A and B are shown apart, each in its own frame.
Chain A
Amino acid sequence: MVESLFPSIENTSESSPESRRKKPRISETAEAEAEIEARRINEESLKRWKTNRVQQIYASKLVEALRRVRQRSSTVNETDKVVSGAAREIRETADRVLAASARGTTRWSRAILASRVRAKLKKHRKAKKSTGNCKSRKGVTEANRIKLPAVDRKLKILGRLVPGCRKVSVPNLLDEATDYIAALEMQVRAMEALAELLTAAAPRTTLTGT
């Protein structure tokens, strides 16, 4: 796809060099290349999250996972607290399914899938290790706190939001954020539809009772 893009640029740049002299040549300089490259990456990823097939895969997996979650949680007695616990489980399940749909091509998906393994290990090791590595959180001590420029601060915040992208370079971080946003939007849509279906289909049952 990139190769097919280049000939068109070459032809246009070669055909009328003089006429283009005065116009802003945004399309012809190195900016264009960076933009094209970024666009290629992002179009692939964004289209990926918008296709029907992905949505179908995600929806079906989500339903399966939810069913399993329900079975697991049904053993616990139903109180209001369980709702939030179940909500957390559902969210994590949904995130995991989302990450699985990404097929491991993005960093955040790998981080989500890996975090579950790490959480399980942590549970087993809870007796042995009580403290985590909190020192690494503060890069700058309180005494000589330097205000990073605003953009860098925000990039750090963004890195914290996207799972597994704290120490990632800036262009990669932006790529990951793009894919993550697209994936999240798909997730929201799928869960919304599912919730609608399930709640709309149960008008009579215990909705009003509980």
Chain B
Amino acid sequence: MDLTGGFGARSGGVGPCREAIGLESLHLGDEFRQLVTTLPPENASGSFTALLELPPTQAVELLHFTDSSSSQAAVTGIGGEIAPPLHSLGGTLAFPSNSVLMERAARFSVIATEQQNGNISGETPTSSVPSNSSANLDIVKTEPAETDSSQRLISDSAIENQIPCPSQNNRNGKRKDFEKKGKSSTKKNKSSEENEKLPYVHVRARRGQATDSHSLAERARREKINARMKLLQELVPGCDKIQGTALVLDEIINHVQSLQRQVEMLSMRLAAVNPRIDFNLDTILASENGSLMDGSFNGTPMQLAWPHQAIETEQSFHHRQLPPPPTQQWPFDGLNQPVWGREEDQADGNDNSNLMAVSENVMVASANLHPNQVKMEL
């Protein structure tokens, strides 16, 4: 953004004269220095120096050209500069050694000459950027070892073209990746920073994967579904070990059906118990403390045990001997007191006081369930 701002500021009434260019390039240099100094903490976005991976002074020198000869010299110097880092990094890749580098140097000289000729406006950086990316593509296409990455780059540039409002940072960040592709054979996903701003979900293709838009969309869709399946697997007990979507879905369906059956059983139990609500309330109040401490609420580990117990309780419906849930001493926490206090305030002088007490008990019982989660959200 500094780039565009800076360039835009200078665009007014810039003549093609060299002195003006010199002055402007000085301004440029200042901005670049600013950018460069802010580069390391940021993600090295938005500067040509990041592209070149050069010390800032040389990059500034690149733009300070006043004559083509020096530009050529500087470019070749820079081109020579580029070679060692790339060779050191891209050991596995066979660059056609000099042709690519000279092409790149030529590209940089294109930048330099453009700015030399005084086409300095707010558009040059943006116009040079697509030219860079397209030039990059051309260069990439010539590289034999990088056919996949060329497709990647095409797709990435295609994705880039979808960006409604290209932020310089993102584009230059991606170009930095292009430069770095000698480093990493696989790409990192830089589009995560775009997702904050854009409605698209950008997917970066990995090495060896097809990159046409259909398969990209397909892959995004699949990954969404897989993410959700993973969450379901975590939710449903016993699904972690299972491989394969169909079996996991089987388990999920079984779980949902069992839960629904449990609700049916419990509703039958409650239906049987319901007529006795009025009778039981005093006894409830009396015996609630004891029953609550037994941990009538069970946590998720007991989920699997419940179907068995529920089925048993159906047969032993009137049987007093309900299989007792394993006693888990849920510690009473401070939630107990405020719950009681709050409900008692409401229950004063009510005909429903007994029932509110019942609800109190259930609340306290529910408080037992997650003593650590004292969240009053929602």
| Residue ranges of A at the interface with B (Cβ–Cβ < 8 Å) | 2-3, 6, 9-10, 13-14, 17-18, 20-21, 25, 28-35, 37-39, 42, 46-48, 50-56, 59-60, 62-64, 66-67, 69-70, 73-74, 78, 83-84, 86-91, 94-95, 103, 150-151, 154-155, 157-158, 161-162, 170-171, 174-175, 177-178, 180-182, 184-185, 187-208, 210
B242 — which chain A residues lie within 8 A by C-beta? none
A25 to B253, CA, bound (A): 32
| Residue ranges of B at the interface with A (Cβ–Cβ < 8 Å) | 43, 180, 183-186, 188-193, 195-196, 201-204, 206, 219-221, 223-232, 235-236, 245-246, 249-250, 252-253, 255-257, 259-260, 262-264, 266-277, 279-281, 283-284, 287-288, 291, 296-298, 300, 303, 306, 318, 320, 322, 325, 335, 339, 355, 358-359, 361-363, 365-367, 369-370, 373-378
With most chain B CB atoms within 10 A of its CB, the pick from A13, A21, A25, A38 is A38
Query: Given A198-B284, A202-B276, is A181 in contact with B236 using a C-beta cutoff of 8 Å?
Result: yes
Question: B235, A74: Cβ atoms under 8 Å?
Answer: no
Residue of B nearest to A202 (CB): B280
Question: A191, B249: Cβ atoms under 8 Å?
Answer: no
Question: B369, A25: Cβ atoms under 8 Å?
Answer: no
Residue of B nearest to A30 (CB): B203
Query: Given A66-B274, A191-B266, is A13 in contact with B253 using a C-beta cutoff of 8 Å?
Result: no
- Chain A binding surface SS class: helix
A87 to B263, CA, bound (A): 10
B296 — which chain A residues lie within 8 A by C-beta? 192-193, 196-197, 200
Question: A205, B280: Cβ atoms under 8 Å?
Answer: yes
Question: B284, A193: Cβ atoms under 8 Å?
Answer: no
Chain A nearest Cβ from B184, distance in angstroms: 5
Question: B320, A63: Cβ atoms under 8 Å?
Answer: no
Q: Which residue of A2, A67, A84, A174 is within 8 Å of B229 (Cβ)?
A: A174
A37 — which chain B residues lie within 8 A by C-beta? 224, 227
Query: Given A55-B363, A94-B263, is A50 in contact with B358 using a C-beta cutoff of 8 Å?
Result: no
Query: Given A38-B228, A155-B249, A198-B273, is A54 in contact with B279 using a C-beta cutoff of 8 Å?
Result: no
Chain A nearest Cβ from B314, distance in angstroms: 11
A50 — which chain B residues lie within 8 A by C-beta? 370, 373
What would be 17 A-B contacts, judged by CB atoms less than 8 Å apart? Answer: A13-B188, A30-B202, A30-B203, A33-B189, A38-B230, A46-B235, A52-B369, A55-B363, A59-B365, A62-B362, A87-B268, A154-B246, A192-B266, A192-B296, A193-B365, A200-B296, A201-B288
Question: B196, A158: Cβ atoms under 8 Å?
Answer: no
With most chain A CB atoms within 10 A of its CB, the pick from B189, B250, B257 is B189
Chain A nearest Cβ from B361, distance in angstroms: 6
Residue of B nearest to A60 (CB): B359
Question: A158, B183: Cβ atoms under 8 Å?
Answer: no
Residue of B nearest to A206 (CB): B276
Question: A59, B366: Cβ atoms under 8 Å?
Answer: yes
With most chain A CB atoms within 10 A of its CB, the pick from B43, B186, B190, B300 is B186
Question: B274, A18: Cβ atoms under 8 Å?
Answer: no
Question: A208, B363: Cβ atoms under 8 Å?
Answer: no
Residue of A nearest to B202 (CB): A30
Question: A161, B358: Cβ atoms under 8 Å?
Answer: no
Q: Which residue of A83, A158, A162, A205 is within 8 Å of B271 (Cβ)?
A: A83
